[in-house]
Structure 1
Amino acid sequence: MKKLLLGDEAIAQGAIDAGLSGVYAYPGTPSTEITEYIQNSKTAKERNIHRRWSSNEKTAMEEALGMSFMGKRALVCMKHVGLNVCADPFVNSAMTGVNGGVVVLVADDPSMHSSQNEQDSRFYAKFAMIPCFEPSSQQEAYDMVRYAFDYSEKIHLPILMRVTTRMAHSRAVVEICDNSREQNNINYDSKAADWILLPAMARRKNDIVTSMQPELENDAKNSKYNQYIDGSDKSLGIIASGIAINYLNECYPQGCPNPVIKISQYPLPKDLIRQMTSACDSVLVIEEGQPFIEDMLRGIMPGDATIKGRLTGELPRTGELNPDLVKKALGLPVDECYAPSENVTPRPPALCQGCGHRDVYSALNEVLKDYENARVFGDIGCYTLGALPPFRALHSTVDMGASITMAKGAADAGLWPAVAVIGDSTFTHSGMTGLLDAINENADITVIISDNLTTAMTGGQDSAGTNKLEAICKGLGLNNEHLRTVVPLPKNMPEITNMLREEINYHGLSVIIPCRECMQTLQRHLREKKLNANQSK
């Protein structure tokens, strides 16, 4: 059977067909569609595959390890900065190993289409000493995730599978297998000594994982996903990884005249590279992301070898690659392209009309005009757009949850007033621990949890804290007198501004929760309600 699938959807279908028992994830572009596909899959529902969103990437990784402990297969999905959040359990999972197969799918975002940095997740796999897979097509993504689960159980290690935005969000026809694998049965084969990482036990496992590296490298050398393709022109050898092989193929529709190594499974197959080195005068590395392979080559190839790529300027040091950039690196003519018209007015992203965040920022700007040194610390979410015109309301946005902790640190340094703006999903993702710090010291800050009842920036997924934010704040120990709620509407502007002014002037911690449903999910819910009403007639 053939299906037209996004790269994300191919991975999701492959995981289902591999006998998946649970997907654990927090929404993050460009990885979100994987979990959504499984949530909407008829097969996943019939098999009762776990498919609810986790509070953050760390909890997702730990929940997946729990499923693996019981012998079942688990998929963990996140964007690249989410891997930072789950780094502790991820790196330690190499020490525990796995019982049921675990695939950690990370979607990197070169050119930062919706991210804070261009982080390359392959470094994490090398750091943790676990294999990394990097598919070069949607078909390979489907096949590879199925192979990854088998391989994970064979070597008893998790597998990191890395895609990039272009792979995740482009479509291709994928051949789907006819027979989907059944889920693993629960088993109790997990050895306690492997999962209790006391130093004496972890040292033993560290020696085992370290000693496995030659075996893992040999598997990569012999992998069907890594290929040495010989060519007649030995003046240049080319190493292309993951999706980058497609850019090279577009440059040579009739076939590349140079020797090519395609790499989609790591550790880096050094023997294949040495084979190329002995045959070619120089080597060009084409890889999406940071110069991961290119940098490693300098420890593999002879000292006088000529290595070209992102570090040497043949390819740009930052941003996504494309066929034209690869053509330039190969010295091939580049087709004429056209610059955008100077008459086209730029349209930066903006908060939706009618969005409750708009009313929050309007009120906040009105109030803070009376305070000379006020600073507002923002967070990650669609409300980050409050930093842009017309509001220009934020002074910082660093990472998930940093609004509260940065406001506290600034207040500790002597700033007043210090205001933190955080969304409901981000608050339950990474903001609760920061609020606990602020509560314990009664920090002189005002925290605004702008609640739109969803994870709006990534498409309106469920938020872990919906209808629980007040209870969470109270449970953490917040003074009830300074926990206040309001509905952000233009007609309520006097109430909002008075509330903000009162809590800012209170020299201690206060939390204000403006709550109104996201306009996008509201419209969706109204359409669904209307459709259901028509169907019931």
Structure 2
Amino acid sequence: MSNNKLLLLGDEAIAQGAIDGGLSGVYAYPGTPSTEIMEYVQGSKQAAELNIHRQWSANEKTAMEAAIGMSYAGKRAMVCFKHVGLNVAADAFINASITGVNGGLIVVSADDPSMHSSQNEQDSRFYGKFSMIPILEPANQQEAYDMAYFGFELSERLNVPVLLRITTRLAHSRSGVQRKTIKPQNELRLPSDPRQFVLLPSIARKNYKKLLVSQTAMELEAEKSAFNELIEGTDKSMGIITTGIAYNYLIENYPEHKCPYPVLKIGQYPIPRKQVEELYNSCDKLLILEEGYPIVEEMLKGYLNVGKPILGRLDGTLPRDGELNPNIVAKALGMEVVEGQPVPDVVKNRPPSLCQGCGHRDVYADLNEALKEYGTGRVFSDIGCYTLGALPPFNAINSCVDMGASITMAKGAADAGLVPAVAVIGDSTFTHSGMTGLLDAVIENSPITVIISDNSTTGMTGGQHSSATGRIVDICKGIGVHPDHIRVVTPLRKNHEENVKIIKEELAYNGVSVIIPQRECIQTFARRKKAEKKQANK
């Protein structure tokens, strides 16, 4: 391989590591100190030759969702932003730990301690811990490259996204980086579980239990990680724990970088508990050096004082998931609990379904018919009544991640080669957070078909006013969708053949098309008619 060693910024090392590690697409929104990651990929001849997707997104949320979409399609994706951008992306980011991944997914969050160009000092590791996913934190540019390179494999092995956290000094300083063998990109492949990405509560609860079970595997990965190292020292009066770039600040204080104290260098989380306890038990005191918030310090104070048992959710005294109730608490207190008779099947909860007479029913009937020649696994949906299309008898959608994610996930899947890709979104959700995703698709003329199922209300939450009512066509034109590919239809059984024909035409179009089935929500229709009748009788 030519250019075996390069002089790179930390940001550039991450970009090159991802490219060499099999990256198929990077999604980002600019923000210091993360911007140079995308810029490097955009300027890379290698990335161009590999046809790696590398266009800016409209915001961090759409970037995160498109990366999830590419992961859904089986390819390796990376999303990059600064720490406050993670706030914008948080909805999709946190839910992605529940959906899991298909292709490897790395989320790069660049923190800015001392607020060189930011409004706060927030520490992205909190998000990683909160989401219960692995965190990688490089100490130098070589580790930044290695973590991006290996991070995809870690993500796929554990079936979760991986958070790669860097800080300003590492992002914007240079060092020599030794490259590794270039890995091929993943082949296009759909998830083996067709409902993995559909976060209806019944599915999400099962996925969450899987995430909890996987915590043990994440801890084992951290224990054996080459990025975590316990370095012997002769002076046991103190042990030192460092994370990320703080290790450099430590060794720069000693000649030849030889620290006399034992040092635990942490680059992969969860914290490697065995090494921590070994250090703790062998030294008189600990000094914790970490860039950002005292996250490790707080956690260590929580579990190193092991003289007395601490009972609760972590040791199984209380359930690790779900709500508490008086019986659960009583069991934890050692009290005898009288269990009632099991709930008979006749009164057990049943899954919800679309209302009889709902226009979404006809939309899915039309869409399923139109997609028969393409096969299943191509429909990305959103949060609304229409999410129930994931259930029988329709089985029509393949994702529900967060508000607005349908369009951007369809775009990401199309970027990965899943063409045609379809997004189904409601009118209210479209104006909530779907418009920016449509803008991304228009800018790149992505081959996706967007179905905005317009029932003229915010139906799922009780029929509140929808900001989209009467505006959708103009919004789509204003965003840049070609007027010839904005199709308004009426979802009724008598229009089935004509609607299927229209959907097929737009599926065959190599660009962005929008189909708007318009039919008033059956619930608001009934309430409106009742109110009109009442008014007429006055």
What is the CA–CA distance in structure 1 between the aligned matches of 2:70 and 2:473, rounded to whole Å? 33
Moved segments of 4+, more than 4 Å: 474-479
> Which of these residues, 121, 125, 128, is aligned with residue 122 of structure 1?
125
What is the CA–CA distance in structure 2 between the aligned matches of 1:475 and 1:118, rounded to whole Å? 40
The secondary structure found in structure 1 opposite 2:302 is coil
Displacement after TM superposition at 1:193 (Å): 2.2
| Counterpart AA for 2:172 | H
What is the CA–CA distance in structure 1 between the aligned matches of 2:54 and 2:195, rounded to whole Å? 30
RMSD: 2.5
The secondary structure found in structure 1 opposite 2:230 is strand
Does the 8 A contact of 1:70 with 1:190 survive in 2? Answer: no
What corresponds to 2:179 in structure 1? 176
| Counterpart AA for 2:285 | S
Displacement after TM superposition at 1:253 (Å): 2.4
What is the CA–CA distance in structure 1 between the aligned matches of 2:153 and 2:255, rounded to whole Å? 34
Q: Does 1:245 find its partner at 2:243? A: no
Does the 8 A contact of 1:96 with 1:205 survive in 2? Answer: yes
Displacement after TM superposition at 1:269 (Å): 1.0
What corresponds to 1:5 in structure 2? 8
What corresponds to 1:234 in structure 2? 236
What is the CA–CA distance in structure 1 between the aligned matches of 2:194 and 2:473, rounded to whole Å? 37
Residue correspondence of structure 1 range 526-537 to structure 2 within 5 A: none
The secondary structure found in structure 1 opposite 2:202 is helix
The secondary structure found in structure 2 opposite 1:194 is coil
Residue correspondence of structure 1 range 372-521 to structure 2 within 5 A: none
What corresponds to 1:49 in structure 2? 52
What is the CA–CA distance in structure 2 between the aligned matches of 1:147 and 1:70, rounded to whole Å? 20
What corresponds to 1:288 in structure 2? 291
TM-score (norm 1): 0.57
Instruction: Select between 78-87 and 293-302 the one with higher mean Cα deviation.
Output: 293-302
What corresponds to 1:214 in structure 2? 216
What is the CA–CA distance in structure 2 between the aligned matches of 1:107 and 1:39, rounded to whole Å? 19
Does the 8 A contact of 2:107 with 2:161 survive in 1? Answer: yes
The secondary structure found in structure 2 opposite 1:201 is helix
Instruction: Summarize deviations over 1:320-379 as a string: whole Å, max 9, x none.
Output: xxxxxxxxxxxxxxxxxxxxxxxxxxxxxxxxxxxxxxxxxxxxxxxxxxxxxxxxxxxx
Displacement after TM superposition at 1:155 (Å): 1.1
What is the CA–CA distance in structure 2 between the aligned matches of 1:156 and 1:253, rounded to whole Å? 43
Instruction: Summarize deviations over 1:204-243 as a string: whole Å, max 9, x none.
Output: 1111111111221121011000001111111100000000
| Counterpart AA for 2:255 | P
The secondary structure found in structure 2 opposite 1:105 is strand
Does the 8 A contact of 1:230 with 1:259 survive in 2? Answer: yes
Instruction: Summarize deviations over 1:183-208 as a string: whole Å, max 9, x none.
Output: 11101234222111111111111111
What is the CA–CA distance in structure 2 between the aligned matches of 1:41 and 1:477, rounded to whole Å? 39
What is the CA–CA distance in structure 2 between the aligned matches of 1:233 and 1:477, rounded to whole Å? 72
Residue correspondence of structure 1 range 46-195 to structure 2 within 5 A: 46-177=49-180, 179-195=181-197
The secondary structure found in structure 1 opposite 2:208 is helix
What corresponds to 2:204 in structure 1? 202
The secondary structure found in structure 2 opposite 1:100 is coil
Does the 8 A contact of 1:64 with 1:76 survive in 2? Answer: yes
What is the CA–CA distance in structure 2 between the aligned matches of 1:172 and 1:219, rounded to whole Å? 27
Displacement after TM superposition at 1:303 (Å): 7.1
Residue correspondence of structure 1 range 350-389 to structure 2 within 5 A: none
What corresponds to 2:25 in structure 1? 22
Does the 8 A contact of 1:239 with 1:286 survive in 2? Answer: yes
What is the CA–CA distance in structure 2 between the aligned matches of 1:190 and 1:475, rounded to whole Å? 39
What is the CA–CA distance in structure 2 between the aligned matches of 1:172 and 1:115, rounded to whole Å? 25
TM-score (norm 2): 0.57
Structure of higher RCO (CA pairs closer than 8 Å, 6+ residues apart): 2
What is the CA–CA distance in structure 1 between the aligned matches of 2:286 and 2:156, rounded to whole Å? 35
What is the CA–CA distance in structure 2 between the aligned matches of 1:161 and 1:238, rounded to whole Å? 23
The secondary structure found in structure 2 opposite 1:247 is helix
The secondary structure found in structure 2 opposite 1:35 is helix
Structure 1 regions of 5+ residues with no counterpart? Answer: 305-432, 438-462, 466-471, 480-537
Displacement after TM superposition at 1:13 (Å): 0.4
Instruction: Summarize deviations over 1:459-491 as a string: whole Å, max 9, x none.
Output: xxxx979xxxxxx9x967999xxxxxxxxxxxx
How high is the sequence identity, in percent, across the aligned residues?
56
Displacement after TM superposition at 1:36 (Å): 0.4
Instruction: Summarize deviations over 1:151-198 as a string: whole Å, max 9, x none.
Output: 111111110000000000000011122x31111110123422211111
What is the CA–CA distance in structure 2 between the aligned matches of 1:286 and 1:11, rounded to whole Å? 23
Displacement after TM superposition at 1:260 (Å): 0.3
Displacement after TM superposition at 1:252 (Å): 1.4
